[in-house]
Structure 1
Amino acid sequence: MKNRIAVLFALSAITLAACSSHPLEAPSPPAYVSPVPDNWPQAQAKIVQKKADYLESHQVAYDWFGNFAFSEADGIPYLVLKLLPKLAPELWGSEENFLDAVGLFIDERQKTFPVARGIGFSGLSRAEAQGNIDYASFTCGACHIGRVRLENGQMDYLDGGVNASFNIVQFRVKAYQTLQKAYAGKTGDDRYAVLTQKLLDTLDATHQKNPNYFYNNYQSAGRNFDANYEAAQIALFKKTAGQTVKKYAQRVEAEYEGFGALIAKNYPGLESAMIAGFPGMADATGLSAINGYIGLRSTPILKWFAGIVLPPEPGITDFMSVWEQDKRLASWDESHKRLINGGGQWNGNIPMPIYRNLVAMLTLGLEQTDVRVAAFAEELLDGLPASPYPFAVDIALAKKGQDLFAEHCADCHQPKNGKVYDNLGTSMKRAYVVGAVLNYAARKGLYDNCSPDTTIRLYNKDIKPCAEFDGVSLAGKKDLLMSPNSEHHGYNARPLSGVWAQAPYLHNGTVPTVYHLLVPEERPASFVKSRLDYDQKLLGFSWNSQQTSGKEEGYVFQTNAVPALSNKGHDKDIVEGKKTYRLNWSGDKDGAFAIIEYLKTL
């Protein structure tokens, strides 16, 4: 019967077309397929202005996202951070920015900021200027403010994008190596005493030479980090230097040991590469779990249990772009007992934005995590526009690609598609990292940091950022902070706004360009990651080791070194219902290039 109706409908359509003076138009693409603009430079300029206006109207939230530390009471003592290159100059970067050794850069838009973009210090957020010593930590911007080099050699900053140069593992390793050098062979508590004295001596010599060395006379929101502020901070630090330095050093040592345990468990055969770190990538689940491992491994009765805390599978993934979070927002089911239709991170197991932000912060294992950072990040990222493709676009070709995208890609990569795909042939290792223990620990940690009763002060008002979600109270809904593991054995197909800047591709960053994603038979076994130049033809950052720009940047990345780094997947056509979606365009490279051109406009 259904087939008969379909035939009659088709015949009717043909008859109508023949009788009409105007032929029937092709069906319109779904509303979530963005049309190609007729004039790309004009459209590009509008997006650039829209993003600039958005950032200006959300300036406070952006400052917290980019520059504010994750805790006012824990982290790296700020003065110690700035002294690390004095203790071991051979381990750190340039004199202008010692953190370029781990991929953090000086943002030309805030030249007077006293440290690289991606590091914040608590003096920016603390109510009383000299109420405590300043602690530093990474900020949201460390991973999520990226760069691309334009054709004129200038940098375009990608706010909410990916800092593909940031190597969080290498920072921890270099900190550990710096301390080992400073100990000068001493052991026990003697090593901490030696370290403290070296820091104090170096501190005095550095400050005497330059009374603005630590804060660069920076000014922010009415607070002056001038020579007087700097002198007061030094005096505060000296009062408890022994205790402060010892606590910091023990933390560095414990993190190094914990990371070693993670590598031994999940990365046999890849130990040296993991210790070197992969810029733009991290096993974030493992880094979070290390904090629990550190606490357990020092308790003899529970030491045997420590290995269970670490993830059961490798969880290394590329950093994600975080703009346009409204397109990934979950919604309630009719009963308000489940959250549905929301992707988020790679497999979407943390459905609510503020808790995704908190998880990223908890990765650092700090005490008294500042929930204000997570709340401001949620405000900023909800509608933050993606950065537009900064190069030229072939509009005619892009319009051809739009039709192919609508037919083969849009159904999966539409906003708020919460489906988890397990049929793409990608490595499932990352999808299985959150077991029952980690799920429970994450829910507890998130709730302890932000329960429905937690009150913070934003814009001079008391608010409860975790009291409700999408108009529904979260009281009694602690279990919803993490989705059930059974729903996340696979990966989300995220919306593709700004996809040009997300390269390399797949969750583990093993495919350098969109061309290689669409033409899997040409995927390279190794390529260069973390370059800032761009391959406009294939749509990805410059990846070929034969391509040289005169800039020494990037590192050779070997795919398939371990199963978790497999570059397989998204390489075979799939069938959903009665429809076949083409994923492998090896037999139609013209079609692949049309899709590539269309993706530039998103």
Structure 2
Amino acid sequence: MKLIRIFALSAVAVVIVGGGWLYWSVEEAGRDKTGIELTAPASRASMVPVQADWAAEQQARSDAKTSYIRSHQEAYDWFTLFPFSKSDGTPLLILKVLPRLAPDIWNEGEDFLSGVGLFHDARVDSAILPTGVGFTGLTRDDANSDIDYTSFTCAACHIGRVRADDGQVHYIDGGINAEFNINLYFVRLSQTLAQLYGPEQDPAKRLERVTDSIVQAVDTAAAASPTYFYANHRYGDRTFDAAYEAQQIALFKQNAGTHVGAFVDYTEGFVAAFSHYLDKTYEGYQQQMLAGLPGMADATGVSASHGYESMATSRLGTLIGEGVLPSSPGLTDFMAVWEQKSRTAEWDPTGQQLINGGGQYNGNIPVPIFRNLAASMTMGLADTDVRVAAFSAELLDGLPATVWPFPVDVALARRGAALFERNCEACHQPNNGRVYDELGTSMARAGVINTLLMEGARAEYTGTCSPQTTVEMYGRQVKPCAEFKGVPLDNMEHVVMRPLDDQRGYNALPLKGLWALAPYLHNGSVPTLYHLLIPSERPASFIKSRLDYDQEKVGFAWQDDGTPGGYRFDTGAFHAVSNKGHDRDVTLDGVTYKLAWEDDRDGAAALIEYLKTL
């Protein structure tokens, strides 16, 4: 393992994960922290007219999203189905026999991996894995040359769900999977290994026990059905039939000890490294973080832990971890990734710096291909498939936000539009690259990167996809990292991540699809728009990750009323999950913007109604 991966992967995901955001805070208008003059964001209209026939508007937007996906079907497939790595991850045969190895930990059938928040998309007829998990047989040039590995896809975090009043589930493409618990996935893998070890303490004998158990489970499954693992799955011109399945089993068993050993090392190394990181950074909150919070993650910690997992149990590794692992907690909600063109940066007049846009909470990876590569590299896998990042950049540039699926009071929303224009539009403009840092929100997540991590990340990203890197897309050879908006990226590593002084805060991002991003603030600490605008009523704790929806206050069902689903989220349990911020009026450039609406609840209701329509 190269030491640079420790540094690079620590920086990788600090910018990837996060979901519910709103306006953040105030600093000098007109310039970013480097002193570069910015285009006035107020010149970029962000208002959305409220249509008189809301039902017709809903249908039109829904149809437009469907049409967009169909016209970008191959890119959508790479976003949803295709794994981050070309030849690394958990062997598919191991993943699929987990319910046989530990039935008390893993569900089988349609509920497979539901315990960690992954689900089967009812729109997909023949998937053999839940949405968000892909396998390398889909992407390998020679499908029969190696065993199939599984790893996550973009959809694991970025396809969510909401349940309508009639019980129908609507899918939120490019939104937030508020059910996905990435930490718990690895904890359960570790628990499975512990069960298989039993009382055995000798490492070699442990590996032997696990290998024997897995091979036996594979054989038992294959004896029960010759299509147990692939179910005669088809994709394009590839057929994963009984013959393919038999060959995969044979390939796996030829080197079962090696494959199982790599799986064990990866799992145990990560859990050990992540636990060390939690002890370093999450004092008093370690157990909650290790168990995971669905819809949230400290991707900085996950990626950094993967980066130095092979040394985690050594004294040298512990010492390195003290210096390398971030000292500031980076816990955030997952982020919506649609309509990226509204966040895309621009070149300054010199053509040497990127301004006015970004994409993450603090916009620190402004070029879309590298932003997507950062997400792909979060899991610390070798052989990153650059095509996933390239196709996703194409898809997400114009992917429409999912429309609010419930009724709207059009007259009230139109009154709210004027309030939005007066109090919100100046900051929540497309391509506003300014970073705000004085609104009282937790600044923990904005301080996780240091110079070493930033430089390491730049080197890792450009090493994975240089201007000369060539991949095949749509049957032709392309260089996805050769240029950005017409400017060649040769010798331009400095634009891959913004300077540190320009990362210490949060972007005020456009609010398209805002309804689907609840709960709000970067750390998901405010359950509804009502509570955002009426800060005195923010609950100290509430239920997160339900599929039902509070249409009045605008947020997923949050009250602890005995309804099944979700988990309790305590905003007072740790400083990084505080619900403070965006809770007082602010003055910027002599103009005061209303953020606390206790004294005008009718106005708040109108504003909320308008925000539903974005």
Normalised to the residue count of structure 2, the TM-score between the two structures is 0.91
2:141 to 127, 136, 139: 127
Alignment match, 1:104:
118
SS at match of 2:248: helix
Residue 215 (1) aligns with residue 227 (2): no
Matches within 5 A, 1:447-458: 447-458=462-473
**1:117–1:194: structure 2 CA closer, same or farther, 3 Å change rule?**
same
Q: Which is greater in Rg?
A: 1
Alignment match, 2:551:
536
Q: Any unmatched runs of 5+ in structure 1?
A: 1-27
* Deviation at residue 300 of structure 1 after TM alignment: 5.5
* Deviation at residue 443 of structure 1 after TM alignment: 1.0
1:582 to 563, 570, 594: 594
CA displacement, residues 491-526 of structure 1 (integer Å, 9 cap, x when unaligned)? 011100000000000000000001100110000000
Alignment match, 2:74:
60
User: Partners of 1:399 and 1:302 in 2: how far apart?
Assistant: 59
Alignment match, 1:593:
605
The residue type equivalent to 2:130 in the other structure is: A
Alignment match, 1:268:
283
Residue 91 (1) aligns with residue 89 (2): no
SS at match of 1:443: helix
* Deviation at residue 185 of structure 1 after TM alignment: 2.3
User: Partners of 2:331 and 2:379 in 1: how far apart?
Assistant: 16
Alignment match, 1:3:
none
Residue 150 (1) aligns with residue 157 (2): no
Q: Is the 8 A contact 2:363 2:507 kept in 1?
A: yes
Q: Is the 8 A contact 2:549 2:556 kept in 1?
A: yes
User: Partners of 1:140 and 1:308 in 2: how far apart?
Assistant: 30
The residue type equivalent to 1:461 in the other structure is: R
* Deviation at residue 479 of structure 1 after TM alignment: 1.8
Alignment match, 1:342:
357
Q: Is the 8 A contact 2:272 2:313 kept in 1?
A: no
CA displacement, residues 273-299 of structure 1 (integer Å, 9 cap, x when unaligned)? 111100000000111111232245467
Residue 493 (1) aligns with residue 511 (2): no
CA displacement, residues 39-58 of structure 1 (integer Å, 9 cap, x when unaligned)? 11001100000000000000
**1:85–1:49: structure 2 CA closer, same or farther, 3 Å change rule?**
same
SS at match of 1:427: coil
The residue type equivalent to 2:138 in the other structure is: L
Alignment match, 1:43:
57
Alignment match, 2:45:
31
Q: Is the 8 A contact 1:518 1:592 kept in 2?
A: yes
User: Partners of 1:299 and 1:376 in 2: how far apart?
Assistant: 39
Alignment match, 1:249:
264
The residue type equivalent to 2:592 in the other structure is: T
User: Partners of 1:90 and 1:268 in 2: how far apart?
Assistant: 30
Alignment match, 2:582:
570
**1:465–1:71: structure 2 CA closer, same or farther, 3 Å change rule?**
same
User: Partners of 2:466 and 2:199 in 1: how far apart?
Assistant: 46
SS at match of 2:252: helix
SS at match of 1:108: coil
SS at match of 2:320: helix
Alignment match, 2:129:
115
User: Partners of 1:554 and 1:546 in 2: how far apart?
Assistant: 12
**1:547–1:516: structure 2 CA closer, same or farther, 3 Å change rule?**
farther
* Deviation at residue 446 of structure 1 after TM alignment: 0.7
Tell me whether 555-564 or 29-38 shows the greater mean CA deviation. Answer: 29-38
**1:295–1:436: structure 2 CA closer, same or farther, 3 Å change rule?**
farther
SS at match of 2:294: coil
User: Partners of 1:350 and 1:133 in 2: how far apart?
Assistant: 34
Alignment match, 1:163:
177
* Deviation at residue 302 of structure 1 after TM alignment: 6.0
Alignment match, 2:526:
511
User: Partners of 1:260 and 1:156 in 2: how far apart?
Assistant: 36
Q: Is the 8 A contact 1:289 1:438 kept in 2?
A: no
* Deviation at residue 267 of structure 1 after TM alignment: 0.8
Alignment match, 2:540:
525
Alignment match, 1:23:
none
Q: Is the 8 A contact 1:508 1:565 kept in 2?
A: yes
Q: Is the 8 A contact 1:420 1:492 kept in 2?
A: yes
SS at match of 2:569: strand
**1:183–1:295: structure 2 CA closer, same or farther, 3 Å change rule?**
closer
The residue type equivalent to 2:344 in the other structure is: L
Q: Any unmatched runs of 5+ in structure 2?
A: 1-41
Normalised to the residue count of structure 1, the TM-score between the two structures is 0.93
Alignment match, 1:11:
none
* Deviation at residue 271 of structure 1 after TM alignment: 1.6
**1:601–1:441: structure 2 CA closer, same or farther, 3 Å change rule?**
same
User: Partners of 1:188 and 1:207 in 2: how far apart?
Assistant: 29
User: Partners of 1:243 and 1:509 in 2: how far apart?
Assistant: 41
User: Partners of 2:102 and 2:160 in 1: how far apart?
Assistant: 27
User: Partners of 1:254 and 1:282 in 2: how far apart?
Assistant: 19
